[in-house]
Structure 1
């Protein structure tokens, strides 16, 4: 297929002019940042959904299993120290911020910092609810991201007929999110295996391989970043939008 025939791309805009245009649009349509504002307020002032109680309930059994498997006590201690620093600070509501389509948010907060409303509520999740909460929050993140991207497209486009419908935007967003995450996971396992193999031979080869991965990743990450553009701006389906994204990142 001749990708260049999918659409005629305009000349790429300048960085400064793009940033200025974005600020002008937000200043004249303040509702465009309503969803990110609500999400950030919820992350800051809302409850924390934790899983440290679940991990604490199985910690002793896991440590016993490691000791039986012959793992040195020093390594077990390092793992437990990492656990004490990390797991109690994990907020499962972070799954509401999905990629590549999701509601924009600020950096994720750490710990149970005080808020103007006092200490936030702490909700603990059990083993059965962990996967349910993860699926539910991820799905809500996809839906919220679709609505957010559509609202931005509605503000930006002068021809409202080009804006994707609500149902179509949600469906295409779920497909893009699922396919992009599946693609990243499918690439992750062979890459980690090759990284492990190179580490067995030479540190130099490992560093060279990592450098190659960083360069090659740009050919994958950038098209994924622009993948939703055709869906929300031109009513394209998932696959046509993917080809448009490849064309955009290839020629600009």
Structure 2
């Protein structure tokens, strides 16, 4: 069955390549996690539409690994290198993670001056049993035993809860583009994640897939200094 799927993908790729050899047109489905899709990619993909008006891009969010080998998506943007024998995966950039809180929370509970002070603070984090990707465990990486006051499987919900004063939250740098009034806590405590772009080997060189892949690579490289800078920035 796996070999049959590979042959089918190859035939589809060849058929599409022949018909679109000189034009970037058709549908490309790009899958990634909710946070980077909503807070980083969505508004920047307008530039892609302007560059290729005949390209139909589908942006899919998923809390788990997307299997591009089974055509769940043409491209998968992830914070880790996916496993698979027929994948073409490239490391295209990195971003920082850090701790943030609202001014209201810090005024009520004090500003921690060292890591030891965090034992007296409340945090916002993920629901442990619903975590499907270990790459989003940025809070536990920075604070081994946090006292969680609010949990959600949605990074967006965590951001809004922290903005309302629920506690300290760990976020990737690109999340601060929403400008919810969150400020850095203990700048020296930071993590880093990789950004990987993956496609099925039979689809990686289709003109339309290659165009989207190249655009996202250029985008991340252009913004990498801001993605790695541990301070708020606006898009």
Q: Report the TM-score when normalising by structure 2.
A: 0.24
More strand by share: 2
Specify the structure having the higher radius of gyration (Cα): 1
More helix by share: 1
